[in-house]
Amino acid sequence: MKSLKLLFKFNLLAICFVVICLCGCSKEDKYKDLSAKEIYDRGTESARKKNYSQAVKDFDALEARYPYGEYTDRGQLALMAAYINDDNNSAAIATADRFIRMHPRYKHLDYVYYTKGVANFNDNFTAAFRVLPLGRYKRDPTFAQQGFDDFKTLLEKYPDSQYAPDARKRMIFMREQLANHELDIAKYYEAQGADLAAANRAGYIVNNFPRTTAAPKALLIMYKAYNKMSMKQEANEAMWMLEQNFPDYHKTN
């Protein structure tokens, strides 16, 4: 009886092993006789049909079977876009970083920096966060800062890139967000009566984000904080900067 049970278990394991092997073979056979171009075309067609998860599989298979070559490089660029469209921004960023390391002089590297910036830009707004009744500046600014840096690198290295205009627009948006994040912290210190901390944080905004909507608000915080600390000269300087650079704001506030 025991021998029959052992035989049954052995046969069951053998069947499972065969099934797994067959499944593995069927997946391999999908690309077995395809050239690099054919796999690339398959991936681009999947992406065209908005089947991005399948496009990711196709471009992954392209790199696995043909590690080097024109279509492999193009496939990696397309893979980044497929990841973004499939809401897998972290994978797009990782792919972009790896591509930059392996191809530091690639002719379309501006696209890679741009794509990485877009992925970080997208990660800055999670699906859950979009429905929350909070200002976007109140979230962790890590992705906004990284995306800003990616676009900045793009503009420094490739100022005439076709992606430069959109990168500039996104940078303006993220600069406002980063400035408002700092302003929220300055307001918190102000509310807590930490006048020196509030003034310092507001000063950081004035120095690093001078052309944002947060700048005049930061100068006003500095003026009030310095007055409370009896630092008249610093308070007067803050008010002078506010009046010179944002006269309309001073009149209405």
CATH number assigned to the domain comprising residue 224: 1.25.40
Provide the domain count of the chain: 2
User: Same domain, yes or no, for 52 and 102?
Assistant: yes
Task: Name the percent of the chain lying above pLDDT 70.
Answer: 81
pLDDT tier at 4 (50, 70, 90 boundaries)? Answer: very low
Report pLDDT digits (tens) over 59-75: 999 999 999 999 999 99
Q: Which pLDDT score, from 0 to 100, does residue 142 have?
A: 85
CATH of the domain at 83: 1.25.40.10
What CA–CA distance (Å, rounded) separates 209 from 178? 8
The answer on pLDDT for 220 being more than 60 is yes
User: Same domain, yes or no, for 143 and 205?
Assistant: no
Higher-confidence residue: 219 or 13? Answer: 219
Domain region containing 182: 178-253
Residue 200 contacts residue 222 (beta carbons within 8 Å): no
Cα 76 to chain centroid distance, Å, stands at 18
User: Same domain, yes or no, for 157 and 204?
Assistant: no
What CA–CA distance (Å, rounded) separates 152 from 103? 20
Does residue 29 fall inside a structural domain?
no
User: Same domain, yes or no, for 57 and 149?
Assistant: yes
Higher-confidence residue: 5 or 191? Answer: 191
User: Same domain, yes or no, for 95 and 197?
Assistant: no
pLDDT tier at 141 (50, 70, 90 boundaries)? Answer: confident
Q: Which pLDDT score, from 0 to 100, does residue 126 have?
A: 57
The answer on pLDDT for 200 being more than 50 is yes
Q: How many CB atoms lie within 10 A of CB 150?
A: 24
Q: Which range, of 20-29, 84-93, 103-112, 117-126, averages the lowest pLDDT?
A: 20-29
Average pLDDT over residues 163-181: 94
Does residue 4 fall inside a structural domain?
no
| DSSP character string of 137-148 | GGS--HHHHHHH
User: Same domain, yes or no, for 114 and 85?
Assistant: yes
